[in-house]
Chain A
Amino acid sequence: MISVSLIRAPELSLRWIPVWRRNLLVWRKLAIASVLGNIADPLLYMLALGYGIGSFVPEVGGMKYIAFIGTGMVCQSAMFTSSFEAMYSAFSRMHVQRTWEAIINAPLSLDDVVLAEWIWAATKSVMSVMAILAVVLVLGFGHSWLAFWVLPLGFIVGLTFGAFGLVMNSLAPGYDFFTYFFTLVLTPMLLLSGVFFPVDQMPAALQGVAKTLPLSHAIDVARPLLSGRIPDNIPLHIAVLLAYAFVAYYVALVLTRRRLLK
């Protein structure tokens, strides 16, 4: 049951900052393992598929295949990192360690905590994009200073998927629940959004689906940036990502209040 007090507008304050800082401090203790965990997967994909498939598919959409897939991996890592953080890690803090419970006995509201976790998930996306971008640049696929704009893009992608993750977190009975999100949402998203191959090679119906997926909008911005061009329709792509982000954040907030403020 959702009561009136659960759907009230977010009650925001700057008190989220110490919670974000707390997460940063924990991350710093485990930074190397954490960065490796976040980027090993996308790097392996990029190198294996980039050189493997790239050897018989030399160019896709005017780019070397490895550069093509490199931009896909930038977005993929932003998506996975924030999803993972907002599900497994946030769930540990909320449910297993009861860290949130301790925090809301201090003068923070649950709204502050959810906001902090959301922004923290997006922050981690930026960190993983930074790591992938470094590899892309070292391999010589950066082309221009425009490439650095994928960092703020990573933050926005992190907000979108971090918010999705927080919705899952608010509903999860245990860690296993998050598998649904990976297999039913993230994997299809990865395959349909133009990470591994261009969307315009798919049947029209699937192309229509792709247009609704946040990851494909992220890729439409990231790919030109990494090939040295200014993307088309930036406001549209960003608006779609942010719309998903804010709606999901609000849903996550209401559901988390329902779960914890009993």
Chain B
Amino acid sequence: MTAGTGQEGPGVPRPSRDDVVLAVAGLRKSYGDNEVVRGLDFAIRRGECFGLLGPNGAGKTTTLRCCLGLTDPNAGTITLVGEPVPKAAREARIRVGVVPQMDNLDPDFTVTENLRIYGRYFGISSATLSERLPRLLDFAGLASKGAVSIRTLSGGMKRRLTLARALVNDPELLILDEPTTGLDPQARHLIWDGLRQLLSQGKTILLTTHFMDEAERLCSRLAVIDHGRMIASDTPRALIRAHVEPEVVEVYGDEARRWADARGRALADRIEIAGETAFCYAKDAAALLADLGGQNGVRYLHRPANLEDLFIKLTGRELRD
């Protein structure tokens, strides 16, 4: 352990072509008879924000654990910041930051102590930490809370501190597992602002989420996975274009279902009914809108197709546990 140089990795120069920060090929992972990851391939390039989208149980977290070397895959190769994983997972993790799904800040320490002690796990010298900590506290919006016990922080503050903690080693890749699950809208926006700030500084981000607005706002590229397989991967816009009709009319109300069966089906390219809402997908919604204008007992919303439409189309409407 060499204090101060740990976060820079081995002293050999990195190959200049390592534009790919994380490369995963043929990844498989089973628990007993249950194959959770069934052959995943993806690569994350420097400077992008890559989103892994999928319903609960799709294999997102297992994939991340494999990438970090926290569990051995049954098959496949993983190269994380140029290091083979799991073989050199420790060396790789020196240059990676992780925001876990559940907060695991150290409850016995103050805000500053949490950052400082976590920094020591990376072998970062006290001098370097003293220089970095004020910037990290600023970034987390916790500059005035440095000496406060984390037991008194709100959920949003804890998340921001966890994000700052993941930056303590100035990582090449930041991995976030459902970073805003359980946060209120204000707190989510603060996290998103922070992540956008990091992206503008050139950081690379891998995040898992099942919030489509989060993916749409942050991710330059996405992979939708379900049942351990990748079903689609591209930029958010290209994915929507490729898989979903461009216009959507959501029709609500007591009469929505009857209207959909009687008239909507003929006018839309595709209709999905969920509860009291009929989702009408069309290349051109003009005919739908004209018809709806004369209907009583229904309300409707006309909007462009979004990631949620894509997600539902690809992974279905049934409930996942």
Contact call A105/B90, Cβ cutoff below 8 A: no
Instruction: Give the contacts of B107-124 with A (CB-CB under 8 A).
Output: 107-109, 113, 117-118, 120-123
Stretch at the interface among B13-21, B91-99, B267-275, B289-297: B91-99
| Complex Cα spacing A15 to B3, Å | 11
Other-chain contact of A15, B1, B108, B169 (Cβ < 8 Å): B1
Known contacts A25-B117, A107-B93, A109-B90: A102-B1 contact under CB 8 Å: no
Contact call A98/B68, Cβ cutoff below 8 A: no
CB proximity of A154 to chain B, nearest CB, Å: 25
Contacts of A14 in B (CB 8 A): 1
Contact call A5/B72, Cβ cutoff below 8 A: yes
Contact call B120/A262, Cβ cutoff below 8 A: no
Stretch at the interface among A16-24, A76-84, A138-146: A16-24
Other-chain contact of B121, A15, A25, A26, A261 (Cβ < 8 Å): A15
Most chain B beta-carbon neighbours within 10 Å: one of A5, A22, A105, A262: A105
| Complex Cα spacing A78 to B295, Å | 82
Contact call B71/A261, Cβ cutoff below 8 A: yes
| Complex Cα spacing A19 to B6, Å | 16
Q: 0/1 per residue, A148-179, Cβ < 8 Å to B?
A: 00000000000000000000000000000000
| Complex Cα spacing A262 to B34, Å | 13
Other-chain contact of B93, A22, A98, A99, A105 (Cβ < 8 Å): A105
Contact call A15/B123, Cβ cutoff below 8 A: yes
A interface residue count range (under 10 / 10 to 19 / 20 to 34 / 35 or more): 20 to 34
CB proximity of A44 to chain B, nearest CB, Å: 28
| Complex Cα spacing A103 to B70, Å | 11
Chain B interface mostly helix, strand, loop or mixed?
Answer: loop
Contacts of B100 in A (CB 8 A): 98, 101-102, 105
Contacts of A13 in B (CB 8 A): 1, 90
CB proximity of A95 to chain B, nearest CB, Å: 11
Known contacts A18-B120, A25-B117: A102-B93 contact under CB 8 Å: no
Contact call B106/A102, Cβ cutoff below 8 A: yes
Check B105 for interface membership: any CB of A closer than 8 A.
yes
Q: 0/1 per residue, B72-106, Cβ < 8 Å to A?
A: 10000000000000000011011000101010111
Known contacts A102-B105, A102-B118, A261-B70: A17-B1 contact under CB 8 Å: yes
Other-chain contact of B98, A22, A105, A109 (Cβ < 8 Å): A105
Other-chain contact of A262, B71, B102, B109, B123 (Cβ < 8 Å): B71
Contact call B106/A97, Cβ cutoff below 8 A: yes
Check A48 for interface membership: any CB of B closer than 8 A.
no
Contact call A108/B121, Cβ cutoff below 8 A: yes
Contact call B91/A107, Cβ cutoff below 8 A: yes
Identify the closest chain B residue to A105 (Cβ): B98
Other-chain contact of A26, B1, B71, B72, B108 (Cβ < 8 Å): B108
Contacts of A102 in B (CB 8 A): 100, 104-106, 118, 165
Instruction: Give the contacts of A1-42 with B (CB-CB under 8 A).
Output: 5, 13-15, 17-19, 21-22, 25-26, 29
Check A205 for interface membership: any CB of B closer than 8 A.
no
Contact call B106/A104, Cβ cutoff below 8 A: no
| Complex Cα spacing A236 to B1, Å | 36
Most chain A beta-carbon neighbours within 10 Å: one of B98, B107, B121: B121
Contacts of A5 in B (CB 8 A): 72
Contact call B121/A99, Cβ cutoff below 8 A: no
Contacts of B107 in A (CB 8 A): 97
Most chain A beta-carbon neighbours within 10 Å: one of B71, B90, B165: B90
Contact call B106/A105, Cβ cutoff below 8 A: no
Contact call B109/A25, Cβ cutoff below 8 A: yes
Check A204 for interface membership: any CB of B closer than 8 A.
no
Known contacts A105-B98, A105-B100, A261-B70: A19-B121 contact under CB 8 Å: yes
Other-chain contact of B104, A18, A25, A101, A262 (Cβ < 8 Å): A101
- 16 residue pairs of the A-B complex, CB under 8 angstroms, read A13-B90, A17-B1, A18-B121, A22-B117, A97-B107, A99-B106, A101-B104, A102-B100, A103-B121, A105-B93, A106-B121, A107-B94, A107-B121, A108-B90, A261-B70, A262-B31
Beyond contacts A105-B68, A105-B98: 8 other A-B pairs, Cβ-Cβ < 8 A, are A15-B1, A101-B100, A101-B104, A102-B104, A104-B70, A107-B6, A107-B122, A262-B31
Residues of chain B having any CB pair with chain A under 8 Å: 1, 6, 31, 68, 70-72, 90-91, 93-94, 98, 100, 102, 104-109, 113, 117-118, 120-123, 165, 169
In the A-B complex, the 8 residue pairs with the closest CB atoms: A106-B121, A98-B104, A105-B98, A18-B120, A102-B104, A26-B108, A107-B94, A107-B93
